[in-house]
Amino acid sequence: MKDMKLSFFTNDESFPLFVQFGGHDEDMFLHGHEDFFELVTVMCGSAVHVVDGERSEISKGDVFVIGNSIVHGFDEPKNFRICNIMYRPDMLFSGEQDIRQLPGFHALFLLEPYFSSTQHFQSRLKLTPADFSRIEPLLTLAESEYRSDNPGRKTLVLSVVRQLAVILSRLYDCPAKSREISGIADAAAFMEQCYSQNIAISDVIERSHYSQRHFIRLFSSAYGMTPQKYLMNIRIHHACAMLRDSGLSVTEVAMRCGFSDPNYFSRIFRKYTGYSPTEFNGGLRE
């Protein structure tokens, strides 16, 4: 088994993304991804996808994300052609992009790769013929621009890939067998959408349809933090953006980010950032 690095495909550290169409006439050896994720769209034909020893049939219109801790390969290809978009997640989905308000984003781009590596899920997005017709031109544009020397190609490729991510996230419908993915994705998206409201973690857990203990264990394992900390991170990140860009007072920012007490907001803000809100925002009025 071989671990692949993104540098095998591109040495441009300023743009850690690679796009290609690939055909497979023979089995593809098992391999892992050391430092990148891979968005795979099956363009035509079929094959058997082997993920950590489990096998499932894939065919035209299947879309899935392979994380950096998954061993996979392809067997029994038949007229099999795919589009690979290899990327580093922090580059493609940095900041507080509103794509995080979509349950499908959490399911397809964050949770499926994680659960595939830990619990051998084989869920994926299956595009209808009509939806595939929407996606195919964007994949073609991303790949052709990536190979070109056109001025602005990086900006265009990145914008097209992000557009693809939004469309795929909107189309994603968690399969019934992936109830764990669905529950956690709904809860994470709920926090991203409603961070400004006075929501409690009990409200979040209710969205997941799990017991408190089970939800906190699954969520913390998948995201590397408790749901309480995840919600606080969202609020602080939005507060940073508002203090920097909006011209609102600290009290107004606190209220808009779900803090009813400005003094508590100031304490939490300093804890997370190392600055008081007035230091961070250049001395705007309290």
pLDDT digits (tens, 9 = 90+) for 56-101: 899 999 999 998 878 888 999 999 999 999 999 888 887 667 899 9
pLDDT digits (tens, 9 = 90+) for 183-195: 999 999 999 999 9
Joined together, the tokens standing for residue 219 give: 């969520």
Of residues 39, 121, 149, the one with CA closest to residue 85: 39
Q: Give residue for tokens 């795919």.
A: 82
Q: Does 18 score more than 80 pLDDT?
A: yes
Distance, CA of 170 to CA of 166 (rounded, Å): 6
Regarding pTM above 0.85, the answer is yes
Distance, CA of 260 to CA of 220 (rounded, Å): 26
The pLDDT, as a whole number, for residue 24 is 82
Domains along the chain with CATH numbers? 2-171 (2.60.120.280), 175-286 (1.10.10.60)
Which residues are CB-neighbours of 149 under 8 A, at least 6 positions away? none
Give the mean pLDDT of the chain. 89
